[in-house]
Amino acid sequence: MKIIVGLGNPGLKYKNTRHNLGFKVLDSLAEAKDIDLRKSSRNYEAGKGTIEGNQVMLVKPLNFMNNSGIAVSALVTKTGAEPDDILVVCDDFQLPLGKIRMRRDGSSGGHKGLESIIGSLGTGNFPRLRIGVGLPGNMDAAEFVLMSFKKAELDEINRAIEQATEAVCEWVANGIDKSMSKFN
């Protein structure tokens, strides 16, 4: 089974912030593939379904972003999943607005959610899909990612969510190499 983990912060206060793009992509996938996301444990919401003929689990950690590893670790313990069967979807303020980038593995790149997952799993050897939220400029990065998108940015972000949804489906069907080739 493939597991897609979308990162974000729980609660209405954060729903439309830049940091919640992982949640937005999972919502898009859940709607497109008719997968019902429900609270499955105290650490995450999850739903099982099929994408491109493959069994998948969509997961939204209910811990705040900086503690995402708690949910992912609990999930790995429960399912026995290997790190390369987990795709983490998150925002990235180092990428231009709307640009997506898939990677087989790597460092956190300063992303606190990825850092938490790497720490909990003891490895950075898991695929990830990053979505650019724009560059913070002179603004504090932590403040920037907790801001909502400007009205002028919404078309670009909605397009990126659609593209990221397609990229996840490609990963499920054909693996990371073909996904990177097609979407990077």
Longest dimension (CA), the chain: 46
Percentage, residues of the chain above pLDDT 70? 100
Q: Is residue 125 part of a domain?
A: yes
Residue 81 lies in a domain: yes
- 111 catalytically annotated: no
The answer as to whether 123 is a domain residue is yes
Enclosing domain of residue 26 = 2-178
The count of structural domains within the chain is: 1
* Average of per-residue pLDDT across 67-96: 93
How many angstroms separate the CA atoms of 84 and 178, rounded? 15
Question: pLDDT, tens digit, for every residue of 65-74?
Answer: 999 999 999 9
Residue 48 lies in a domain: yes
Which among 2, 18, 19, 33 is annotated as catalytic? 19
184 is a domain residue: no
pLDDT(139) > 90: no
Half-sphere CA count of 111, side-chain side, radius 13 A: 33
Q: Is residue 10 part of a domain?
A: yes
pLDDT digits (tens, 9 = 90+) for 144-161: 989 999 999 999 999 999
CA distance 24 to 29: 9
SS3 147: coil
Considering the chain, what percentage of its residues have pLDDT values greater than 90?
A: 83
Q: What pLDDT digit, counting tens, does each position of 154-180 carry?
A: 999 999 999 999 999 999 999 999 999
Q: Does 97 reside within a domain?
A: yes
Q: Which sign, positive or negative, has the C-alpha torsion 168, 99, 124, 18?
A: negative
Residue at 183 is within a domain: no
Confidence of residue 98 (pLDDT cuts 50, 70, 90): very high
- The per-residue pLDDT for 41 is 76
Written as one string, the DSSP assignment of 74-118 is: HHHHHH---GGGEEEEEEETTS-TT-EEEESS---TT-HHHHHHH
CATH number at residue 61: 3.40.50.1470
